[in-house]
């Protein structure tokens, strides 16, 4: 028996202004050489054309998202409790939005767009995106942002099954609630797209990579989605969250995070 989920809200073309807030950990600066290498890779990939998008059924999208969440949930919860600064209980909702993006909202809400599953070639890539949401909440990024202005309109409708995955403390269990959304229903209050500082975004990238590392996820397979997002045509700054980082900057930040995480055998970076 399924339970009807609250209709989600996703902002399209929204302009949000938030109070400034930094990262919890010290993020080492990226060098010009690292940024140049990332830029070259993105340009080389872009020359091959837009990234491939494949169709996925509602059932496959639900299964893929649930599997990714269950795979990294325990490691994410452990990391969050180790940091002891943010929200460690999360609700993951699937959206019918086909853009290659996601959003976070209050009370641990994370919205994963269907477009993620359409562009991803493996579960590891979906896990990256989910881990970004976990990381923003674990570092208290969303809660630390004070909304001062919001402008934008609600997008489209939800036609497919929505997904809600609740990861309880310690990641001991997950529950899945499915509800068919009626065609033509307007999106209502729910997730907000927050604009983060470069420092916060780099921290979320680091923490996401660390979550995957601790969960035993293949980081090379996971990296593909970071490159894919940098290749989206017509929006060189598109990404998993509304961010001030360009695609090459995110890629360089990911590579540096992975390098240092492996060197430290999965330790957190120093606190500020």
The pTM (predicted TM-score) of the whole model is 0.76
Instruction: Tell me the pLDDT tens digit for each residue of 13-47.
Output: 222 222 345 789 888 889 999 999 999 999 998 88
Tell me the pLDDT of the chain averaged across its residues.
74
- Six-digit token string for 34: 């690292």
The pLDDT confidence band at residue 195, using thresholds 50, 70 and 90, is low
Give the rounded distance of the alpha carbon of 172 from its chain centre. Answer: 22
Domains of the chain, by residue range, sit at 11-18+25-264
What do you get for the CA distance between the two ends of the chain, in Å? 48
Highest mean pLDDT among 148-157, 161-170, 188-197, 253-262: 253-262
Phi first, then psi, for residue 2 (nearest 5°) are -100, 155
- 192 pLDDT exceeds 70? no
Helix (H, G, I), strand (E, B) or coil at 18: strand
- 152 pLDDT exceeds 60? no
How many Å apart are CA 200 and CA 202, to the nearest integer? 5
Which uninterrupted H or E stretch holds 249? helix 247-264
């Amino acid at each position: 028996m399924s339970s009807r989920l609250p209709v989600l809200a996703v902002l399209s073309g929204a302009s949000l202004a938030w109070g400034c807030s930094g990262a919890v950990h010290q993020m080492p600066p990226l060098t010009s050489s690292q940024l140049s290498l990332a830029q070259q890779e993105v340009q080389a990939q872009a020359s091959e054309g837009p990234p491939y998008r494949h169709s996925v059924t509602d059932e496959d999208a639900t299964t893929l998202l649930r599997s990714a969440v269950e795979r990294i949930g325990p490691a994410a919860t452990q990391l969050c409790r180790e940091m002891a600064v943010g929200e460690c209980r999360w609700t993951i909702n699937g959206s019918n939005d086909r853009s290659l993006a996601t959003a976070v909202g209050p009370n641990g809400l994370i919205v994963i767009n269907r477009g993620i599953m359409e562009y991803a070639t493996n579960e590891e890539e979906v896990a990256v995106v989910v881990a970004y949401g976990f990381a923003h909440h674990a570092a208290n990024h969303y809660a630390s942002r004070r909304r001062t202005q919001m402008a934008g309109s609600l997008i489209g409708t939800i036609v497919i099954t929505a997904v809600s995955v609740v990861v309880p403390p310690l990641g001991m269990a997950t529950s899945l609630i499915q509800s068919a959304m009626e065609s033509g229903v307007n999106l209502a209050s729910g997730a907000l797209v927050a604009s983060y500082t470069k420092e916060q975004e780099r921290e979320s990238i680091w923490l996401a990579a660390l979550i995957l590392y601790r969960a035993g996820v293949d980081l090379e397979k996971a990296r593909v989605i970071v490159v894919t997002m940098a290749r989206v045509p017509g929006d060189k700054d598109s990404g998993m969250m509304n961010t001030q980082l360009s695609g090459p900057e995110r890629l360089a930040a990911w590579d540096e995070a992975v390098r240092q995480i492996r060197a430290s055998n999965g330790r957190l970076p120093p606190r500020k």
